[in-house]
C-alpha cells in the first residue's frame, strides 16, 4: 500500500503544468531539386518550466510534392506575457527521417508565434518557423496553426492569468492588471504593499507581516500546524502523530505553492552524534509519512538538529518530552 501511495504522489507531481496540442501547417522548401512544398501534421506535448518557459516535444509528418518526411523535434519555448494574447519564441533541434534520394538528417529550427487563451484549459496557437536540414543543405520556411489543451494541476489561485508556479505575487487582488511575473503594474496599482508580502494594503488584514513570512489572500501569516513528539530513543510515529501529519498534509494540499523543511530534535541525553542521527531519523519519518499522504517530494526537505534549540528545560521529564519533537517551517 505504501508503494502505491508513493507512486500516486510521484505521478501527481509529474503531471503538473502539461499541455498537449495538434496543428497543421505548410512549408516551402528552398534549394532542393527533390522537394518543393509540404503540408505538415504536428502533435506536441509541452511541460511548463520556470521563468516563462515550456519544453515541448513534437512529432510531425510532412506530405506533399516529392518524398514524405517524418520529424521529431525538441524545442524550448519562451513566452513574453501572460495576457489573453500571449506571444512567444522558440528554438530547438531534432531529426528528420526520409527515404530514397533525400537523406535523413539532423535539424535545427527557430520561430515565433502567439497563443490566444480561449479559457484556462484551451488555447489557439499560430506560428511561423525556419527549419534547417543539414544533410540535404535545405531550408524549410513555413507556418502552422493549431489547438492546445492544458492538463495537470496547473493553478492560478488569484485569477490574474499567471500560473502559481511562476507567479511572484500570488495574492494579487481581483481586477488589478499584472506583469508577466504576476505582480501589479505600477500604473495600475492604486495602493501600496507596505510589508512586501504580495497583498496590497487596501485588502491586507495583517499589514505588518515580517519579511519572508508566507501569507494567505488576506495578507496574514499561514500557520504551520505540525508538532509531533516521540518516545525516548525512538523515531517511530505513534497513531496520534500520524493523525497530526495527515492533518498537516491536508494543509499543504490546500496551499500548493508552499515548500517546507521538516526539522527533527532530541532532548540532551546521550552523545551529540547519536542525537543528530536520531533527530534525522525522526525528521525522515515525518517526511516519508507526508509523501505517503500525497505530498510531492519536491515540496519537502528534512534535517536533524539533535539537542539544539530546546523549547523547554531538559532537567525535567516533561521538558525532555517537549524537546523530543519534529516541527515544520516554510522555506518558500
Task: Map grid coordinates 525516548 to a residue.
Answer: 232
Q: Calculate the CA 136 to chain-centre distance.
A: 40
So what's the pLDDT on residue 118? 87
Contact between 37 and 29 (Cβ < 8 Å): yes
The three cell numbers of residue 35 are: 522537394
Per-residue pLDDT band for 124 (boundaries 50, 70, 90) equals very high
Residue 10 clears pLDDT 70, i.e. is over it: no
The three cell numbers of residue 46 are: 509541452
At the topology level, CATH places domain 16-151 in: Porin (2.40.160)
- pLDDT above 90 coverage of the chain, percent: 46
Going by C-alpha positions, the residue among 122, 152, 130, 153 that lies closest to residue 21 is: 122
In CATH terms, are 16-151 and 227-330 the same topology?
A: no
Give the residue extent of every domain in the chain.
16-151, 161-208, 227-330
The terminus-to-terminus CA distance of the chain in angstroms comes to: 31
Contact between 141 and 30 (Cβ < 8 Å): yes
Question: What is the 3-class SS of 95-136, one letter each residue?
Answer: EEECCCCCCCEEEEEEEEEEEEECCCCEEEEEEEEEEEECCC
Range 227-330 classified under CATH 1.10.10.60? no
* pLDDT, greater one: 76 or 63: 76
Residue 47 CA: distances (Å) to CA of 13, 18, 20, 58, 246: 12, 5, 9, 12, 30
Task: Compute the distance between CA of residue 315 and CA of residue 48 in angstroms, rounded to an integer.
Answer: 53
Amino acid at each position: 500500500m505504501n508503494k502505491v501511495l508513493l507512486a500516486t504522489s510521484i505521478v501527481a507531481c509529474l503531471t503538473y503544468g502539461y499541455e498537449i496540442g495538434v496543428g497543421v501547417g505548410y512549408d516551402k522548401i528552398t534549394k532542393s531539386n527533390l522537394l518543393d512544398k509540404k503540408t505538415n501534421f504536428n502533435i506536441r506535448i509541452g511541460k511548463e518550466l520556470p521563468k516563462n518557459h515550456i519544453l515541448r516535444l513534437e512529432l510531425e509528418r510532412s506530405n506533399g510534392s516529392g518524398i514524405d518526411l517524418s520529424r521529431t523535434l525538441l524545442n524550448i519555448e519562451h513566452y513574453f506575457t501572460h495576457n489573453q494574447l500571449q506571444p512567444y519564441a522558440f528554438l530547438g533541434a531534432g531529426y528528420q527521417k526520409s527515404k530514397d534520394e533525400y537523406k535523413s538528417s539532423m535539424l535545427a529550427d527557430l520561430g515565433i508565434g502567439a497563443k490566444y487563451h480561449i479559457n484556462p484549459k484551451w488555447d489557439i496557437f499560430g506560428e511561423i518557423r525556419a527549419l534547417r536540414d543539414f544533410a540535404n543543405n535545405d531550408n524549410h520556411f513555413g507556418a502552422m496553426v493549431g489547438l492546445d489543451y492544458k492538463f495537470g494541476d496547473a493553478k492560478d489561485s488569484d485569477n490574474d492569468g499567471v500560473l502559481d508556479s511562476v507567479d511572484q505575487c500570488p495574492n494579487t487582488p481581483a481586477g488589478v492588471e499584472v506583469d508577466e511575473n504576476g505582480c501589479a503594474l505600477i500604473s495600475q496599482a492604486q495602493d501600496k504593499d507596505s510589508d512586501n508580502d504580495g497583498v496590497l494594503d487596501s485588502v491586507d488584514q495583517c499589514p505588518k507581516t515580517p519579511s519572508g513570512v508566507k501569507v494567505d489572500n488576506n495578507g496574514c501569516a499561514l500557520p504551520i500546524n505540525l508538532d509531533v513528539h516521540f518516545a525516548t530513543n525512538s523515531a517511530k510515529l505513534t497513531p496520534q502523530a500520524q493523525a497530526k501529519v495527515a492533518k498537516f498534509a491536508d494543509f499543504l494540499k490546500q496551499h500548493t505553492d508552499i515548500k517546507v523543511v521538516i526539522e527533527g530534535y532530541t532532548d540532551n541525553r546521550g552523545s551529540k552524534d547519536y542525537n543528530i542521527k536520531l533527530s534525522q531519523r525522526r525528521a525522515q519519518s515525518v517526511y516519508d509519512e507526508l509523501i505517503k499522504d500525497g505530498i510531492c517530494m519536491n515540496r519537502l526537505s528534512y534535517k536533524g538538529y539533535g539537542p539544539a534549540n530546546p523549547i523547554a528545560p531538559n532537567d525535567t521529564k516533561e521538558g525532555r518530552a517537549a524537546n523530543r519533537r519534529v516541527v515544520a517551517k516554510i522555506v518558500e
